[in-house]
Amino acid sequence: MEFSHRLRTWVLTIFLIFQSGYGWYLPGSYPHKYAVGDTLGVKVNSLTSIDTEIPFSYYSLPFCQPQDGVKDSAENLGELLMGDRIENSPYQFKMYTNESEIFLCHTGPLSGDQFNLLKKRIDEMYQVNLILDNLPAIRYTKKEGFVLRWTGYPVGIKVKDVYYVFNHLKFKVLVHKYEEPNVARVMGTGDGAEVIPTVAKSDSDVPGYIIVGFEVIPCSFMHNADSVKKSKMYEKYPAPIKCDPTTVAMPVNEKQPIVFTYEVEFEESDIKWPSRWDAYLKMEGSKVHWFSILNSLMVITFLAGIVLVIFLRTVRRDLTRYEELDKEAQAQMNEELSGWKLVVGDVFRAPSNASLLCIMVGDGVQILGMAVVTILFAALGFMSPASRGTLITGMLFFYMILGIAAGYVAVRLWRTIGCGDHKGWVSVSWKVACFFPGIAFLILTTLNFLLWGSHSTGAIPFSLFVILLLLWFCISVPLTLIGGYLGAKAPHIEYPVRTNQIPREIPAQKYPSWLLVLGAGTLPFGTLFIELFFIMSSIWMGRVYYVFGFLFIVLMLLVVVCAEVSLVLTYMHLCVEDWKWWWKSFFASGSVAIYIFLYSINYLVFDLKSLSGPVSATLYLGYSLFMVVAIMLATGTVGFLSSFWFVHYLFSSVKLD
């Protein structure tokens, strides 16, 4: 009886989690209840532009500052690395209290530097990003009958060589009446109400609201600066203000002040708290994109299936034909061997630069594991857009933890190539811990100097540099060494055949084998190029990326296709008596990185054609190069490990003297 009560309790609890609010809450993401009249503080993030991709501090421009000074909000590691600088602002509301014509401040006469900087930021299409209750301000515009959604609003606009600033903001805050999460009330009466306690009604009698939307309409209004010289912040502006977003009236002039005002309107909405991010996640033409992705997945799966079936039938036919012969016929056949059977004495000959191969495979395992775990957690909702910076923070955390796997795989592969020799495992582990992070450090430091020179908030502060170095050498390196130690203690993989002392000469090929290797990357690229557009748009166009479930499916499919492509190419090389398959199997699937980099250049030329200045283009290409190196290591590792398993399986399945 007690067991049935417990079972019923768990079922009711799980059902409630998925039923209440049409969604479920993650730790730290519960709604905040505000009573009528509670103060709501708006925060500001960095100024951003798709024209330059260089973020700047909000207060680098002559905007109004809070009465109690500018204060930084607590930011996590991911937010700092993304260039977010969230600070308080002078904009304040009272919950469910409509206010209009609120005077904020007036700047002093604009200096020449302030005037030129403001014009430059307007020319570069910089956006102001406001945040209320963790929701970014959203702006709606109409164009050719379509409603467009934008996060933030522009600093100003240029009309007929005259610069205008948006100095009056009209806010609309959507609120939803707070609903007490009473389990018994949701589930009804009966046994469920007895076994699940109801929430105490301490504050339930006090009406409260939760914020489910934050909209802004920027206007350019010609204020009378003389009439507000003695006015204080939050006082009533002495004249009526008409906010018309279709006209501009406040030109920016040197040695002239700017007056800032705002108004706020509250509106009760049917939107529930778990659905409040839906407005940010809607994409125009999303159905077309979904069908394109599905079509791509189906085509690639079909092609991969055909390749796999043909490949397995070919190998199985060779093995079956050979094993059906008696010993005398096998001995005669050994003298007439052709194809992959001829390289039996060389197929496991150590490759050139074996330690570098082990290091790259180890780092590839680490990067691939990080990608799989991070995307899986994101797909489950633990790294939603509402939690800024958690995606980057999670990637760093999982990358460091998986240093154990990187050291283990690299050292065990090193011992396998060296036929069980323990020497050099410490050196290999150190190089694994420093190879990819060293490349990343070099690229990011170079780009950081460019951002420092531009006084951008995207520049990593020196203190954060020190923290990253400490994480690298105090956590990542020791974990990689521990993994290397475990790999040194683990038994190495025994080769099924002996390697001859004298290497076999490779016959001349009709075409360069590396040409085939480079062309093999087109098939893996076909699995992800559509998804790549969404990711690039999220990074460079300021759109929110949220389809992590689909991204996880694409990643799994990419892994399968990389493995199959590398297997096929390895088999083809062995069939033409080319036993140098180690590096070719790595780059057969790793060559997809070349096509991704070419796609990045294409995206820069055709989609980011407004990107201005050599600094912005250098930043874009630098980050693209960093991404491409990581993808090459991850996909190359998949191809190499699958080919190694296949070659080991193939030559252990048939005995050749």
Q: What digits encode the pLDDT tens for the residues 112-167?
A: 999 999 999 999 999 999 999 989 999 988 877 777 888 899 999 999 889 999 99
Residues in a beta bridge with 139:
150
At residue 552, the 3 state secondary structure works out as helix
Task: Calculate mean pLDDT across residues 591-615.
Answer: 87
Whose structure tokens read 């499919």?
557
H-assigned helices in 336-424:
354-379, 390-401, 403-417
What is the structure's pLDDT at 194? 39
Q: Which residue has the higher pLDDT, 304 or 55?
A: 55
Under the banding of pLDDT at 50, 70 and 90, the label for residue 336 is very low
At residue 42, the 3 state secondary structure works out as strand
Are the CB atoms for 60 and 49 separated by under 8 Å? no
What is the structure's pLDDT at 470? 94
Q: Two tokens at 575? A: 């069939």
Q: How many CA atoms lie within 13 A of 288 on its CB side?
A: 4
Q: Which residue has the higher pLDDT, 178 or 333?
A: 178
- Most confident listed range (359-373, 450-464, 528-542): 359-373
Rg value, the chain, Cα: 31
Phi, psi at 541, each rounded to 5°: -110, 5
Burial 238-269 (b: 16+ CB within 10 A, else e): eeebebeeeebebebeeeebbbbbbbbebeeb
Q: Which residue has the higher pLDDT, 294 or 154?
A: 154
Task: Calculate mean pLDDT across residues 56-79.
Answer: 88
Helix (H) / strand (E) element for 163: namely strand 162-165
For 567-586, how does the pLDDT look when each residue is reduced to its tens digit (9 = 90+)? Answer: 888 888 888 777 788 999 99
Are the CB atoms for 360 and 435 separated by under 8 Å? yes
State yes or no: pLDDT of 104 exceeds 70. yes
What is the structure's pLDDT at 325? 56
How does DSSP assign 47-89, residue by residue? Answer: BB-TTT---B-GGGSS----TT---BPP--HHHHHTT---EEE
Strands 130-132, 39-44: parallel, antiparallel or unpaired by DSSP?
antiparallel
What is the structure's pLDDT at 186? 37
What is the structure's pLDDT at 149? 83
| Interior angle at CA 22, CA 16 and CA 23, nearest 5 | 75
Burial grade of 311 (CB within 10 A; 0-12, 13-18, 19 or more): middle
Whose structure tokens read 């933030």?
152
What is the structure's pLDDT at 201? 45
DSSP designation for 37: T
How does DSSP assign 416-450, residue by residue? Answer: HHTTT--TTHHHHHHHHHHHHHHHHHHHHHHHHHH
Are the CB atoms for 115 and 277 separated by under 8 Å? no
Are the CB atoms for 499 and 268 separated by under 8 Å? no
Mean pLDDT of the chain: 82
Under the banding of pLDDT at 50, 70 and 90, the label for residue 462 is confident
For 468-523, how does the pLDDT look when each residue is reduced to its tens digit (9 = 90+)? Answer: 999 999 999 999 999 999 999 998 888 888 877 777 777 777 777 778 888 888 88
Q: Which residue has the higher pLDDT, 324 or 142?
A: 142
Q: Two tokens at 568? A: 């096929």
State yes or no: pLDDT of 15 exceeds 50. no
- Report which of 45, 80, 74 is spatially closest to residue 60, judged by C-alpha positions: 45
CA dist., res. 397 & res. 471, Å (int): 9
What is the structure's pLDDT at 278? 83
At residue 556, the 3 state secondary structure works out as helix
pLDDT above 90 as % of the chain? 43
Q: What is the 3-state secondary structure (H, E, C) of 476-532?
A: HHHHHHHHHHHHHHCCCCCCCCCCCCCCCCCCCCCCCHHHHHHHCCHHHHHHHHHHH
- Report which of 270, 263, 268, 293 is spatially closest to residue 208, judged by C-alpha positions: 268
Task: Calculate mean pLDDT across residues 7-25.
Answer: 37
Question: Which amino acid type is present at position 344?
Answer: V
Task: Calculate mean pLDDT across residues 229-248.
Answer: 89
Strand segments (E) across 192-338? 208-219, 259-268
CA dist., res. 33 & res. 28, Å (int): 14
